[in-house]
Structure 1
Amino acid sequence: MTDDQAELEAQFAQWRHYVQRRRELTSADADELEDHLRGSVDELVAAGLRADEAFLVAVKRMGSLDELSREFAREHSERLWKQLVLTGDTDSPAADTRSRRDLIAMVGCAAGAAVSIKAPELFGLNLEQDGAFYAANLSLFALPWLAAFLAWRRQAGKAVIGVLVALFAIGAVAANAFPLADESQSLVLTSIHLPIALWLVVGLAYIADDLRAPRRRMDFIRFTGEWFVYYVLIGLGGGVLIAFLFGTFEAIGISPEGFIAQWVAPCGAAAAVVVAGWLVEAKQSVVENIAPVLTRLFTPLFTVALLAFLVALAVTSGGIDVEREALILFDLLLVVVLGLLLYSISARDPLAPAGVFDKLQLALVLSALAIDVLVLLEITGRITEFGTTPNKAAALGENIILLANLAWSAWLMVGLVRGRTPFAALERWQTAYLPVYAVWAWVVVLVFPPLFAYL
């Protein structure tokens, strides 16, 4: 195979991966579209174009993939409608069997999560009175069950399952072995960072079918966004259910407050973690683009907000408050910016040239980078002057990690906007950086408490 042929095959593979994100198109549909594209490329090459030129022209002639998908959905409306039914008829008996098995597995794991959050009461613990215990262990009640569902669905091997069990066990030890006071900074840091570390363990279960593929990491990023959207929607529905229970039972002289606070709310919140994951897996073909759509909406708003903040800071010449609440706020802001970048990357056509939205994202990343530098300078100054604390040390490390990500992302985006860097380089950078967050989260959970004498 010549270099030109190898490059052309790589372009076909990239195009097919993009097509397969549209789950309303079956594998046979993707084959049909690819055959059509290959035929067009062959005709153009025969007419005298180079292979790479022929590929770009052929893709352009086929029109936008989104348009193709919508047209395909209209022509196959019966199939698309069936995808909205949880366990209804399908075109394939095997697919119907798998759907039912997934439903049974989800119900079992969701029930396990609901039971887990009530299990501590057998040992005399109470959700209202033992807030410190529940804060540190909250992620351990539901995330192992979500990981179990995903590992079962991916048919994970024994080695992967062993790693998952070991990591969750380490998380349980970290949450309970250290003598952390109820008001200690280390308890707060553990409560924040352990869910992050364990969510990335869930990611290991998600990519268990292809651990080495960067595209699977990007798929997990997409899964995370869609899971969050579904979880919020389930939460809103749960709020309506609770309001209904209050109103109807109080109307007949029964107060359901205790039952709701002790059973409905905690068990429902834990079970919804698994249910939301199952919904993303089952319904991804219908609403897989919710997170990217929200990204398109909020990227301009956050860009304006960050630029306004920088202008106000320059005009007032005021410093940045780096107390705990402010540190959490700024770190959340930077994480939101990173999330906006990730979800725009997850939905972007890898073959499309840089456009206005890419320039807008570059402005957003540069603004966040400037704020990160200012926060780092303030934190470093405070640590130099007053010494360090667990909160400041954690914030320093997190901002350095975010600084490295944002700085290199900005460099790659400048190259992308100028037409000198391929989009794939930016995507590879983000997926390759994910383990850094996991390592740092585990460091904060496992090393910080003893390092700072459980302060």
Structure 2
Amino acid sequence: MTVGSDNELEGQIAEWRAYMDRRRELHRPDADELEDHLRGRIADLTGAGLRPDEAFLIAVKRMGSLDELSREFAREHSERLWKQLVLPAEPDPPAAARSRRDLPVMLLCAALAAVAIKVPGLFGVDMEEDDTRFYALNLSLFALPPMAAYFAWKRQVGVRVVAVLAALFAVGGVAANAYPLAQESQSIALTAIHLPLALWLAVGVAYVGGEWGESRRRMDFIRFTGEWLIYFVLLGLGGGVLMAFTAGTFEAIGVDAQVAIFQWVLPCGAMAAVTVAAWLVEAKQSVIENMAPVLTRVFTPLFAVALSAFLVAVVWTNNGIDIERDVLIIFDLLLVVVLGLLLYAISARDLAAPPGLFDRLQLALVVSALVIDAMVLVAITGRISEWGFSPNKTAAVGENLILLTNLAWSAWLFLAFVRGRAAFARLELWQTRYLAAYGAWAWTVVLAFPLVFRFA
């Protein structure tokens, strides 16, 4: 075999294995065993004179459908699905010992986050109206470093990765607190929005164990982000119910518990929940990781219809978009949701499957979002030409340009895939590589905007 054919074969096996790893019915040892069988069959077939690509296709066909293999393993090991809901897995002894320490380490990190948000109060910075600026800027610095520490411990990262993480959080701390921003400065809101995004990608470095250069690991982090968000929302809803019942029961005996709830339970619980949600994703992902793909399947058609209806209404009424601040936020959030639906659908898809109806719905969703983003950009640039630049309008232009670039190239790749002219893997690779653009822009807003606009 030539070097080129070897590389092509390894690429085909990598795509096959990536799909195998998404079958949560299969554990890693099962997938390793199946890959060994596949490679053995390919070696036998190439030894008989077949080309590597022919050997790969025949070997995969002889092994059977991956869905059938997954179901067969699920039937043979059906007790796993129940045990995973209530019991930890049974890894090798060293891994088992480390797994038993997961819960206390997570609780320690969650407790550190809960304590961190109350430490400023010791220095007179209370959670009152006059000090909301400080907490808005530093909220992510209370919650995310303990979460990154948990993943750094769990992934057993090296000193270099720890140093990179410490440097990123230190830079974020300086950016949030060193600039002399007035209470009415637009940079406060911009930093409060963009610093969590920048630091979340720093958490991603810890999550992947420092292997940020691998596209497959970045996609793992995208999957984790979707699942984490679901768990965090569920914890928030449960916490809200708990606080409501607590306030009501204490009120029944004439005790006002609202001060304690809003000054202690709510902030400390919210900070701790960030790490607890991450631990839940890690602990239960083999069983519950399909939640986000299901939601994606439900909401992609609904958003596609809603955006298409909006575009029809724009054409019918001949009305442009009136870009006020609140309206701009709504449109940006809408585009972010569309991007999230796209990312999670990509992360859960079989790369080798042919294009189907759902892919065409996604293409319609992306094209609709692309047109709306272009309309928003036109409206924003019109406001800038009339009133000049400001931190808010400049940030809006930059973010919409970044989204426009992503949506435009995603639409092109989707169209090529639907027409059978490109592999779906190209779209996945594009999305994982584009994470760097989001991180770069977030850090630019946090670090450079206050200086460029003279702390306005």
TM-score when normalising by structure 2 = 0.94
Aligned to 1:326: 327
Partner in structure 2 of residue 256 of structure 1:
257
Q: After TM superposition, list the pairs within 5 Å mapping 1:87-106 onto structure 2.
A: 87=88, 90=90, 92-106=92-106
Matched, 1:107 2:92: no
- Structure 1 distance, partners of 2:90, 2:404, is 48
Any conservation in 1 of the 2:205–2:211 contact (CA below 8 Å)?
A: no
Given the superposition, is the C-alpha separation of residues 106 and 38 from structure 1 closer, same or farther in structure 2, using an over 3 Å criterion?
same
Aligned to 2:122: 122
- Aligned match of 1:454: 455
Deviation at residue 58 of structure 1 after TM alignment: 4.8
Out of 90-99 and 279-288, give the one that drifted further.
90-99
SS of residue paired to 1:84: helix
Q: State the alpha-carbon separation in 2 of the partners of residues 60 and 237 from structure 1.
A: 47
Amino acid at match of 1:110: A
1:318-364 alpha-carbon deviations (Å, 9 max, x no partner): 12121211111111111111111111110110111111111111111
Q: Which amino acid aligns with 1:142?
A: A
Q: Residues of 2 paired with 1:39 and 1:209: CA distance?
A: 32
1:208 is aligned to 209
5+ long unaligned stretches in structure 2 = none
- Structure-1 residue corresponding to 2:362: 361
1:64: how far off? 4.5
Contact 2:191/2:446 (8 A) holds in 1: yes
Q: Distance in 2 between matches of 1:209 and 1:101?
A: 22
Moved more, 106-115 or 201-210: 201-210
Q: Map 1:381-420 onto structure 2 (within 5 A).
A: 381-420=382-421
1:273: how far off? 0.3
Moved more, 339-348 or 127-136: 127-136
Cα pair distance change 1:63/1:264, threshold 3 Å: farther
Answer yes or no: is the 8 Å Cα contact 1:249–1:256 preserved in 2: yes
Change (3 A) 1:363 1:61: farther
> How far apart in 2 are the matches of 1:42 and 1:13?
16
CA–CA separation in structure 2 for the residues paired with 1:301 and 1:46: 52
* Secondary structure, counterpart of 2:85 in structure 1: coil
* Equivalent residue letter for 1:227: W
In structure 1, runs of 5+ residues without a counterpart are none
**One-letter amino acid matched to 2:234:** L
C-alpha distance in structure 2 between counterparts of 1:156 and 1:384, whole Å: 49
Deviation at 1:253, TM superposition (A): 2.8
User: Is the Cα contact below 8 Å between 2:363 and 2:414 reproduced in 1?
Assistant: yes
What whole-Å deviation, never above 9, does each CA across 1:256-283 have from its counterpart, x for those lacking one?
A: 2111111111111000100111111121
Shift of 1:444: 0.7
1: CA distance between counterparts of 2:68 and 2:294?
16
User: In structure 1, how many angstroms separate the alpha carbons of the residues matched to 2:413 and 2:243?
Assistant: 48
Deviation at 1:162, TM superposition (A): 1.1
State the alpha-carbon separation in 2 of the partners of residues 149 and 375 from structure 1. 40
Shift in alpha-carbon separation, 1:159–1:254, aligned structure 2, 3 A: same
Q: How many residues align?
A: 454
Mapped to 2, the partners of 1:12 and 1:454 lie a distance apart of 53
1:9 is paired with a residue whose SS is helix
CA separation in 2, counterparts of 1:17 and 1:72?
17
Deviation per CA, 1:8-50: give whole Å up to 9, x if none. 3321222122212334423331133234545665787799975
SS of residue paired to 2:389: coil
Q: How does 1:25-424 map to 2 (within 5 A)?
A: 25-38=26-39, 51-53=52-54, 55-56=56-57, 58-59=59-60, 62=63, 64-85=65-86, 87=88, 90=90, 92-129=92-129, 130-424=131-425
Give the RMSD, CA atoms, in angstroms.
2.1
Q: Is the 8 A contact 1:155 1:209 kept in 2?
A: no
Q: Is this contact kept in 2: 1:194–1:442, CA < 8 A? A: yes
What's the secondary structure of 1:335's corresponding residue? helix
**How far has the Cα of 1:186 moved from its partner?**
1.2
8 Å CA contact 2:175, 2:446 repeated in 1: yes
- Opposite residue 154 of structure 1, the aligned amino acid is R
Which whole-Å CA distance do the structure 1 matches of 2:328 and 2:271 have between them?
Answer: 28
The whole-number CA distance in structure 1 between the counterparts of 2:452 and 2:319 is 33
Deviates more, 1:176-185 or 1:402-411: 176-185
**Partners in 2 of 1:174 and 1:61 — Cα distance?**
58
Which AA in structure 1 matches 2:376? V
Amino acid at match of 1:242: M
Equivalent AA in structure 2 for residue 422 of structure 1: A
Provide the C-alpha distance between the structure 1 equivalents of 2:17 and 2:163, rounded to a whole number of angstroms.
34
Contact 1:82-1:90 at 8 Å conserved across structures: no
Given the superposition, is the C-alpha separation of residues 333 and 243 from structure 1 closer, same or farther in structure 2, using an over 3 Å criterion? same
Moved more, 381-390 or 17-26: 17-26
| 298-307 or 4-13: bigger deviation | 4-13
Distance between the aligned counterparts of 2:146 and 2:162, measured in 1? 12
Q: Conserved in 2, the CA contact under 8 Å of 1:114 and 1:267?
A: yes
Q: What is the Cα deviation at residue 80 of structure 1?
A: 2.7
Given that 1:106 and 1:278 are in contact with CA atoms closer than 8 Å, whether structure 2 keeps it comes out as yes
Per the TM alignment, residue 53 of structure 1 is displaced from its structure 2 partner at its CA by 4.6
Identity of aligned residues (%): 68
Could you tell me which amino acid in structure 1 is paired with residue 309 of structure 2?
A: A
SS at match of 2:117: helix
Farther off after superposition, 277-286 or 58-67: 58-67
Hey, what's the Cα distance between the residues in 2 that align with 1:39 and 1:160?
A: 37
Secondary structure, aligned partner of 2:26: coil
The CA distance in 2 between the partners of 1:331 and 1:31, in whole Å, is: 43
C-alpha offsets along residues 200-252 of structure 1, whole Å, 9 cap, x if unaligned? Answer: 11111112342321111111111111110110111111122212212332233
